[in-house]
Amino acid sequence: MKINYPIIKSLSFLGVKIVVYDGYYLSQETDLKDFENVVCYDENDLILWKIHGAKESGHWLDHDSFTNVGVHENDDCVATSFSGHVFNVDIKTGEASYKRFVK
């Protein structure tokens, strides 16, 4: 599946590329949902996963989306939502687990 939405950020590490697509253009009705706008690709640009689990965490607002993704010095991946919630992201599966609020 080729994703054709504007990109906010892209980073490469540990042999994969993680892309944050602009959630402004996404909704529950688009092929890429507003709650799954972080996508991981392999070296051949094949989708390995779309972020998941944040919507079910109890810390997700309707029509929210991720605006940033980063990697800490210990190779932990985190994603931050527009509303200020930070989630740890399992780099192998894309599973998001709630970490903290940062606004």
Domain ranges of the chain: 7-101
Given this model, what pLDDT does residue 75 score? 79
The pLDDT tens digits of the residues spanning 15-41 come to 999 999 999 999 888 989 999 999 999
**Sign, Cα dihedral of 54, 51, 6, 18:** positive
pLDDT tier for residue 1 given thresholds of 50, 70 and 90 = low
Max intra-chain CA distance, the chain: 37
As a whole-number percent, the residues of the chain with pLDDT over 90 amount to: 82
Flag whether pLDDT at 45 surpasses 70.
Answer: yes
Q: Which residue has the higher pLDDT, 95 or 28?
A: 95
Q: How far is CA 22 from CA 32, 44, 64, 83, in A?
A: 11, 22, 11, 14
The Cα 14–Cα 10 span in angstroms is 14
Flag whether pLDDT at 99 surpasses 90.
Answer: yes
DSSP annotation string for 47-61: EEEE-BSSGGGT---
Given this model, what pLDDT does residue 50 score? 97
